[in-house]
Amino acid sequence: MTLALVNPNTSTTTTAVMVDIAAQEAGADVHIEGFTAPFGAPLITGPDALDHAAEAVVALAPELSRADAVIVAAFGDPGLSQLRSILDVPVTGIAEAAMAEAAAVGRRFAVATTTPDLVSRISETARKLGHHGFAGTWTTTGDPVVVTTDPDAATSALMEAILAAVRDAQVDAVVIGGGPLAVAARALVKTSPVPLIEPVPAAVRLSLSRIREGADQ
């Protein structure tokens, strides 16, 4: 079985990191094949870059058709609906999957991320998915590029955002909002005061579930 993990930004390093984390979640029987956006930004920090990333994701569709399922691994889920209209396999977004897990059992949840310019898009995603328990997005301070490229700084800054969300909104869970934040998310799981949802593993779990559902039909 093969899962195609699409990194909608142009960083091959980020792709490799996310593929490794996805493989740990998927297990030995599942092959994770990474794909990197052929054009766009090395880090998606704003709406224009997110829209451009959707075009890059769709451009990969011919190569993705060979997989058993596809994961779109940027938190805005760019190109998700377009891929679903093109491909005959399950296509899952990391925001879609992570929010679904956070909202399970009616939990109130927040998103913690490094990209303040995408806050409105995150809210729009939660609204479209029908998550009435979404409490909002808490962001780190400083340049997202600088924060993201320093793993220790990203981990520390995201913990501050998590603590602020718990304090300000009394949320029951927090989603880490971003594929490139996968390493920081993994580091924070054991120290977060509330359940922390890692978006890449959540997308793997949902993808495998969708493959099984299709096989049972």
Provide the greatest CA pair distance for the chain.
Answer: 49
Domains 2-94+201-216 and 96-199 share a fold: yes
CA distance 106 to 75: 21
Architecture of the domain spanning 2-94+201-216: 3-Layer(aba) Sandwich (3.40)
Fold of 96-199: Rossmann fold (3.40.50)
Q: Any idea where the domains of the chain sit in the sequence?
A: 2-94+201-216, 96-199
pLDDT tens, residue by residue, 160-188: 999 999 999 999 999 999 888 888 888 89
Residue 182: predicted pLDDT:
87
Task: Identify the helix (H) or strand (E) that includes residue 112.
Answer: strand 109-113
Stated pTM of the model: 0.93
Contact 190, 162 (CB under 8 A): no
How far is CA 138 from its chain centroid? 16
pLDDT tens, residue by residue, 20-50: 999 999 988 999 999 999 999 999 999 999 9
Task: Identify the helix (H) or strand (E) that includes residue 101.
Answer: helix 94-103
